[in-house]
Structure formats: C-alpha cells, structure tokens
Amino acid sequence: MQSLVIVAHGSHLNPESSAPTYDHADTIRATGAFDEVKTGFWKEEPHFREVLRTVEGDEVYVVPLFVSEGYFTEQVIPRELRLDGWDVSAWDSDGLSADQATLVAEDIDREVHYCGPVGTHRAMTDVIVRRAESVTGDPDVGDGFGLAVVGHGTERNENSAKAIEYHADRIAERDRFDEVEALYMDEDPEVDDLPDFFESDDVVLVPLFIADGYHTQEDIPEDVGLCEDHTEGYDVPTAVDGTRIWYAGAVGTEPLMADVVMERAADAGADLGGALDDVRETTRVATGD
Amino acid sequence: MSEPAAESADSGSDPEVPSIDLPSDAFDAVLDALSDKTPGDPLRFEGFSVAPDLRGDIDEDRYVFADGDRRTGLTEGELHEALAERAPAVTDWYTFERVVGEFGPRRAFLRWLEDADGATVATRYAALAEGIERAWGELKITATITDRGERRYDVRHADDAGVPVDELDAYEDPLDARELVTYDEKGRYRPLKTAPSLAGGWVFPELGPRDAYEAVETIYPATVANWHREREGELDVSHWRETMERQSGIYGVVKTWDRGEGHEHVNWVAEACCDDSQCLKRREWEYDDETDLDVDGGDGVFPCREPCSVVVSAARKWTRLESEQPRTYEFELTPSEKEQVEDIVDAVADGRIDEIREADTKEGANRYRARFLRTKLFDEEGNLAGVPTEEDEESEE
C-alpha cells in the first residue's frame, strides 16, 4: 500500500497558508495513484510530529511543499518526523539537487522516502510558466512579454536565491518570453524596481511562494507599486511606470503544482501509472474554445 | 463520555436483534477467506466457526461447520443457508475484517464506538438498531445498522443533537469537514483544531465506517491515533523540557526560560493554554519525567502528548516578556478603577467580552466603562495615569 504525505508550513493566523496543500492533495487523491494522501503541518494539525502515525501504507513518500532547501527541509522536518540517523549529506545536494533519502521514521518504525522540496524540482519550471499562462488567460503567452520570477531572497540562506535563479535560467533557455529576470524582496536585484529591469511593455510577475499570505498579498503588490495600500486591491494587469504588470500571486496556488508533488514521489520510487498525464490534463489552462 | 445507549442485555431481558439479510459481498468474503484456510485453522465467528472440508474427493468445494456440534461436507448452498441464519455474526466479521480493515486506530475507534470489544454481537446489533451515541470532543457520533448489517454513522456537533437532518447542512465527503473546522461561529480562523470552538449547523448523516473515521480525523487530526496508542499503553509523551530542548531557529530562545528555577512558569503556560476551556485535549505532558505540573490536565477523551505549536509559539513570546525586570510604577486609581482593570483582564482572558451587555455599567469590563477609564486616565501617548512605561521617557519631559 502506497501513501503520500505532503508536509507544509501552515499558519496560526491565516487559513490561506494551508489551502494550496489541501487543493493539491485533493488533485492527487482524485488520480488514485496513491492509496491515501495525507497532509501534515508545522503550524497546524496534524503536526509533523504526529502525521506519520495517521498513515497506513507500507510505502510512504513524504514531499515537503517548500520552495527551497534549507532550515525546514534539512533540520525541522527530519527532526520532527523523527527520521532515524538523518544527515543532510544523504541528499548530497548542491542546494538544488536534493532528491530523496530512505530512512526509518522512529514514530512508526517504518521506512519512509523523504523527498526534496517541490520548489527545486525541474518540473517546477513548468508550473511557473503555467502560472503566467493562467494569469494572462493565454496558453501561448510569451511573445512580447517579460517574465519576472520573484523570490524572498535572504542573506542568511543562499539556497533561497538558487531556486529562483535555477528556474529563471531554465525558462530563459526556452526562448519563450522576450526577457526573463530573477528578482528578490530582500536582496538585489530588488523587485521594487521591476520596470527598470524590463524593456517589454508587458511583464508577468510570478512570486515563487507556496501560499498567498503577507508577502504575496501585501508586501509585493505595495513594493512593486500595484497599489498604495493592499487593502485597496489592484487590477491584473496594472500599469507601473509604463509597464503593464500581470501579477500572478503565489505560484504554489497553481493547480499544476500537484504534478511536482507527484514527480517528487515518482523520483523516490512511487508507482504512479498514468496519473502524471491525468494531472497535467486536468490542471491545464483552458483555451477558451 | 457517553456510554452505549442500549443496556438491555445487562437488565436481563433479551435484546431485540434486528433482522439481517446476509449480503452477497459478505458471503463472498467468507468464501474468499476460506480459500486460505485448513480444517485445523477455521474461520471463527462469534459462536461458531467454518473451515474447508478437505476430505472429499469430488470437484465441488465442501465445508465444515462447527457450533458445538460439527457438520461436515456442506455444499456452498448449505453453507450459505447456515451463515444466513447467523447473518449478524457474519456481517459483524465482514464489517471489521474487510470493510474497516486492520489499520489500528481506525479499527479500535470503530469498535469502541459500539463497544465491540465488550458486548456480544446480539447486544450490539440491538443497540445499533436503536442507535449508539458517543461523544468525541464536541462531536456526537451516532452509529446505526442497516438491514444488511452495514454500519452507518451520523456525525454532527453535540449542540445539534436531536435536530432533524434536513435542518442542517448535510455532507457526504468526509474531507468537506476541512471547511467546517476552519472558522468559529464568529467567522474567526481557528488555529487549534481541538479548541472548543467548533461551529455547528452541519451533519454527515450517513457515513460508512472508513468515512466516519476520516471525518473524525479531519475534524480532530491525529486524536484517534493518539487515543489508540494510549489504550495500547504506547502513548509517547514528550514533556515540556525535552520539547523545548529540541526547539531551534526563532524558537530556540524558549530554552532560556528554564534556568533551574522551578516550573512555575510552565504551570502558568498550562493554565493559560491547556485548560478545558481552551483545548479539548487532556494534557498528559508534565514539566519533565519526574516533575508533574500543579495544574490539572483536563478531562478530554483524547490525550495531548506534547506541547503543541500554539503553546511553543506563545512560550516564545512569554520567554521574551519574562526576561524583563519588574519596575515599580506609581499610579493613583480609585478602588473601583483597580477592580475595573481586574474585571477587564478577566473578561478578555475568559473570552466574555461579547457577553457583557452594552448598557450594563455594573460590569467593570463594560465598553462604556472601559472608554470612560481610558478618557479619564490615559494621556495622549496612551500611558495609564500619565505614567510613562520607560523611565527615560519621563526624564525627557
């Protein structure tokens, strides 16, 4: 019996934080690829500490719904799941390449496959592009458009920026958008000056965040100048200094994210049958025909 | 906690066992189970057993039936007839062995709902025909039985006991419960699912066994798993000290709150957060292995095995606040004003402010009274009685 456990941050203050986790779990559940799909949280229930004891399967895949490798994926989650003998070197990662480690979870005395975070998976690149499609309503968006992939960025953890650069580079290589830039909230180049980095009249701004919350709903819209005060709201697109900015909100809310969660489990050995194709079909952007 | 509704077996009269038709899926499951059995390892039901009869040299499968007497060479049709006469026992076996399955927490919970480890099939089926009610946190779960021996569960808020289903919002998918637990009656986000603030007005009127378990685990996550471990004598409790010692990052500061100076501060935390009025879990964690807290752990049916993330977050805040040194401030308050400050803290701490009537100026925490106090005693910076919080603010003036 094959079980999937999606672990995410959650919030004491805001229900939107866990909403994408539940949505992606539902999408994956509907494929029938796993006998059960469970969710566990740092700030909500069931907690990381207790989620595994609610799991029935003998093949358990744990996928962190986090953007980058770092404190949560390397310390908090393995500690709270009680992965016996966990050492981050098991991933042998350069900050982008964590795939999976198979360890016994002491809580249930069974092996689990602990996967790398969704944000650094190659399939995440497609989700960012898909986000641009869904926010513009155009499955072929690209020509005449710039794309800004925006991350938090922090001086404290270089991995945070690595994921942003990785996906921005991969999208740029596809020559689909006229321009692609990686921008940050807390380090240079800063998203505040977005129009300065683009020549295109239209720019899609995709924040590489898992859930909509303070950063994506308040900080970024105000910093970029989509609105003076986030409570006033803003249009999509909104013109700032002559550039039409198509603000996408957190990429993690895009339905195709379910695909990345499944890819992570598949990389760790899960048998998904044709479920990946089903997910890509059900989460695609309608052409309006 | 409510007990099974029917006590008729104990009162001496035979219970009214409902008439049960043996469904073909239950009979097929018996045949399937028998295919792996030998005469020395029969399939056991309450009151009888069956096994394959391997002595025959004919092609057709034959069976042995034993209920004190022993009948051999039964054809499949004769076996069906024998089992149909004992449909309660067979459907009971089928329910728990095949529908519910082996997963420990689910099986234990569904058996507990109908006292299946204590009462006979006849007693339970009679009680199920009436409806067996159990409480689980703020939930009321009513188990009933169909004429095919299938369990059905009505899951709702205890406050909605007795309300007709069509007067409530009815749901089928247990995962819909995620929406029901998100906000309290005032529309505020509930960060703690075991807070006693579950809103009512909804019902899952006809869940099967697996879905009933799923609904309960969605409303109160991991509570069945921990309750089950406790019943098995395997609940792993992480006490305050060890839980705080493993904190890291922004929570690492909590460790500085324990300085070998007793555990009074943890009593305060438990009284603030872990009281029955704030959380339905029964606190099983203490200060450490050897030191119990002085505060009662509560009466909840499901255990709390370590300080939760709400408690850790609050403890982090208190660690910061408690690192401050006390100062002496001098205020002039009338005796009633002092009592009013006490009334306001009480009302907020107990969540009673909405109960205090607008014009009830006898209540210290009445809004007009609070506004009067603020107007009279606060200066433009919001300082009580004009006394600045920081000493240097005073010297600047």
- The string of pLDDT tens digits covering residues B34-67 is 999 988 899 999 999 999 998 866 778 899 999 9
- The string of pLDDT tens digits covering residues B138-196 is 999 999 999 999 999 999 999 999 999 999 999 999 999 999 999 999 999 999 999 99
Tell me A67's DSSP state.
Answer: S
Q: How far is CA B88 from CA B9, B39, B107, B124, in A?
A: 16, 23, 18, 10
Residue type, B273: C
Token pair for residue A42? 């740092």
> Which residues of chain B lie closer than 8 angstroms to A53, CB-CB?
105, 222, 225-226, 229
Phi–psi pair at A48, nearest 5 degrees:
-45, -40
Check if the beta carbon of residue B266 is closer than 8 Å to that of residue B286: no
Closest CA to A113 of A121, A101, A104, A105: A101
Q: How far apart are the C-alpha atoms of A205 and A183, rounded to whole Å? A: 10
pLDDT-derived band at A288 (thresholds 50, 70, 90) equals low
Tell me A224's DSSP state.
Answer: H
Residue B188 sits at the chain A interface (C-beta within 8 Å): no
Q: Which of residues 298-327 of B touch A (CB under 8 A)?
A: 305-306, 308-310, 313
**First-residue to last-residue Cα distance in chain A:** 41
pLDDT at A287: 65
Q: To the nearest 10°, the Cα dihedral for B370, B376, B379, B382?
A: 0
Checking DSSP bridges between strand A145-151 and strand A100-105, what pairing results, if any?
Answer: unpaired
- The string of pLDDT tens digits covering residues B65-100 is 999 999 999 999 999 999 999 999 999 999 999 999
> Which residues of chain A lie closer than 8 angstroms to B235, CB-CB?
none
Nearest CA in chain A to B236: A107
pLDDT at B336: 97
Check if the beta carbon of residue A245 is closer than 8 Å to that of residue A237: yes
**Mutate: best of A6, A9, A12, partner B, most B CBs <10 A:** A12
pLDDT at B259: 79
Residues in chain B: 397
Contact B308 A76 (CB under 8 A): no
- The string of pLDDT tens digits covering residues A110-153 is 999 999 999 999 999 999 999 999 999 999 999 999 999 999 88
pLDDT at A235: 94
Whether the link from the prior residue into A237 is cis, omega within 30° of 0, is yes
**R_g of chain A, CA atoms, integer Å:** 19
Q: How far apart are the C-alpha atoms of A17 and A214, rounded to whole Å? A: 10
Residues above pLDDT 90, as percent of chain B: 89
Token pair for residue A179? 């321009």
From B109's Cα to the closest Cα of chain A, the distance in A is 13
Residue B173 sits at the chain A interface (C-beta within 8 Å): no
Residue with tokens 């990946």: A276
Contact B191 A43 (CB under 8 A): yes
From A127's Cα to the closest Cα of chain B, the distance in A is 26
Q: Is B283 left (phi over 0), alpha (psi -120 to 50) or beta?
A: beta
Q: How far apart are the C-alpha atoms of B125 and B390, rounded to whole Å? A: 71
Residue B234 sits at the chain A interface (C-beta within 8 Å): no
Q: Which of residues 106-135 of A touch B (CB under 8 A)?
A: 107
> Which residues of chain A lie closer than 8 angstroms to B182, CB-CB?
15
Contact A54 B105 (CB under 8 A): yes
Token pair for residue B148? 């095919």
Contact A26 B175 (CB under 8 A): yes
pLDDT at B187: 96
**How many CB pairs below 8 A link A and B?**
57
pLDDT at B17: 81
Nearest CA in chain A to B223: A46
Q: How far is CA B391 from CA A160, B246, B323, B329, in A?
A: 42, 37, 18, 10
pLDDT at B5: 46
Nearest CA in chain B to A156: B249
Q: Is B131 left (phi over 0), alpha (psi -120 to 50) or beta?
A: left
* DSSP secondary structure letters along A127-172: HHHHHHHHHHT-TTTTTTEEEEEEE---TT-HHHHHHHHHHHHHHH
Residue B229 sits at the chain A interface (C-beta within 8 Å): yes
pLDDT at B164: 98
pLDDT at B8 over 80: no
pTM for the model stands at 0.94
pLDDT at A258 over 80: yes
> Which residues of chain A lie closer than 8 angstroms to B236, CB-CB?
107
Residue B192 sits at the chain A interface (C-beta within 8 Å): yes
Three-state DSSP state, A13: coil
Contact A46 B221 (CB under 8 A): yes
- The string of pLDDT tens digits covering residues B127-140 is 999 999 999 999 99
Contact B221 A13 (CB under 8 A): no
Q: Which of residues 190-249 of A touch B (CB under 8 A)?
A: none
- The string of pLDDT tens digits covering residues B341-388 is 999 999 999 999 999 999 999 999 999 999 999 999 999 999 999 999
Q: How far apart are the C-alpha atoms of A245 and A248, rounded to whole Å? A: 9
- The string of pLDDT tens digits covering residues B272-302 is 999 999 999 999 999 999 999 999 999 999 9
Q: How far apart are the C-alpha atoms of B8 and B130, rounded to whole Å? A: 11
pLDDT at A158: 78
- The string of pLDDT tens digits covering residues B300-309 is 999 999 999 9
Beta strands per DSSP E along A68-151:
100-105, 110-115, 145-151
pLDDT at B9: 43
Residue type, B172: E
Q: What is the mean pLDDT of residues A94-98?
A: 95
